[in-house]
Structures are given as structure tokens and as C-alpha cells.
Amino acid sequence: MAKAEKKQALGRGLSALLKDPANDIKSVEDKGADKVVGNIIELELDAIEINPFQPRSNFNEETLKELAISIKELGVIQPITVRKLDFNKFQLISGERRLRASKLAGLETIPAYIRLANDNESLVMALVENIQRHDLDPIEVALSYQRLIDEINLTQEELSDRVGKKRSTITNYLRLLKLDPIIQTGMRDGFISMGHGRALISIEDDEVQSEIYHKVVSQNLSVRETEALVKKYQDSLKPQAAKSASDRSFEVADTDQKAFTGFFGTKVDVKVASNGKGKITIPFHSEEDFNRILKLINN
């Protein structure tokens, strides 16, 4: 207990240091920077602004209330991470759920790691830390990857190195952004999974894509069932092989079949296959009947 109180008092002491204009720290070379940067400091909630680079945009109100209750009882166990913007002004890098819940709990301060970072570094840190600590929905992850590529001019290979993910994984996320916005929203709201989205993205026709999406949601189809539905549609688009004249089937008219029966004096069975080939079956009932049919053929 004494150790925890000492650590909290140290955080408050450093917080007082940050509020002294004479000791305003703007870079790692400034006096006292080593006491602040990378340390846990109690910051006033009002001094922290939300990170515009935050990948997460959906917050479940019920789970936030549960976290707020936990924070009231136990405090903030895992400090948030912020970057220093100006004198006594900070911007959140990661930990927005804890920040929101702390406000709900009525706290005035929150423990925070202090970093000095430019916008690009803040964007990378926010993305990496949030992916590691929170279950972002696939579209939030995809949008974050796309923002890194667009704003920092990273290739997918470079992005792979920065966030520690395989390039194929990043590619799969980015492809989700090609889905119809309604389907993207469905994924964010949990109606379909990333697996469903990956199956639907292979359909280029937006109307068909949307039609299958609504069928998946209404019938609560699994990923495998969705893949089968998509494959059935794609198979229907494949051109059917044209039959040559010699391979085309034909039908035997009733009059022709009756002619065979009348000629041989017994019911003749004529069958034709789809490739045009067939067989004629002439039944006989005795040796005498066989000889009769043979005589008709030889004549």
C-alpha cells in the first residue's frame, strides 16, 4: 500500500512540475524532460483532448458504464498514453475508453504516460496500440491502415513492418473498403463478420452484392454458406460450352417409334443420349420369334 501511495504521490509531483511555465518541456533536450517523458503522471482530464487519429469510432455505452464502475472501485489500473502539445495541454494517443469511463466515474485526474511525438508518430502509435489492446472492428482497422498509407505515404510492405502484420493481412483488410458502404456499416454493427465481407467482395456487381448481403443477414447465413452462395452466382456467369452440330441430341418422334414396332411386330425401345448417340432394343420371346425378326432384317 505504501509503495502505491508513493507512486501516486510521485505522479502528482510531476504533474505540478508540468504546470510550472518556467519548466515547460517541449523537447527531450529540455531540462527535466527525463523526469516527465516516459513516466506516469496524474493529468487533469480537462487538459487532455481526444486524438483525431483514433482508429476506434464506436464505443458501447453499456461496457463504458461497467468500466466506470470498476474505475470508481479500483481506479485506473492501466495508464493512458498522451503526447504533449503545449503548456499543460495534451492529446490522447491511446486509452480513449479509459478516458471516457473516468469522466463517467467523476474523476478529475487520470494516470498517463507522457510522450513527445509529431502527428505522424502519433498516428502510428495510436493505430498500433489500439489494435494491440482493443478489438477494433474490421472496417476501423482497414480505415486506419488506409490513413497510414495516404497520410504518411507508406507502401503496404512498409506498413507491414511498422504495425507487425503480414502484408497479406493488410491487403485483406484494405479490400474491405471496396464493399458497398451499407455492407461496411453492417460489418461495423456486427451483422456480418470479416469472413462474410471477404466472400462478398469477390462480387463486382454492386446490386448483386447488396442482394446477397441482405439474404445473408435475413437468413443468418454462415461464412461457408455465404461462400457457397457467391460461388453459385459466379458459376452462373460462366459461358456454357456450345455443342457442335454432330454432338447435338435429337428426339425420336412417336411415329418413328411406332414404325419400328409395326415393322418388327413387337414393341421396339429407342433411346437417344445427350451427345446424339443411342440404341435400339428389339425384344423377342422365343427362338421362333427371334428367327422371325432375323428374317425381317435379312429381307
Task: Catalogue the active-site residues.
Answer: 96
Beta-strand ranges (E) seen in 109-248 are 109-115
The closest of 275, 152, 124, 213 to 132, measured between CA atoms, is: 124
Q: How far is CA 110 from the centre of its chain?
A: 33
Q: Helix (H, G, I), strand (E, B), or coil: what is residue 58?
A: coil
Q: Which residues contact 154 (CB under 8 A, 6 or more apart)?
A: 148, 162
Q: Which residues contact 173 (CB under 8 A, 6 or more apart)?
A: 138, 141, 142, 145
d(CA 221, CA 154): 37
d(CA 237, CA 244): 21
All 3 cell numbers of residue 232? 453459385
d(CA 58, CA 137): 9
Q: Which residues contact 188 (CB under 8 A, 6 or more apart)?
A: 58, 137, 139, 140
φ, ψ of residue 82 to 5 degrees: the values are -130, 165
Question: For 47, which DSSP code?
Answer: G
- 54, 123 contact by CB (below 8 A): no
Single-letter residue type at 60: N
Residue 128: Cβ within 10 Å count: 19
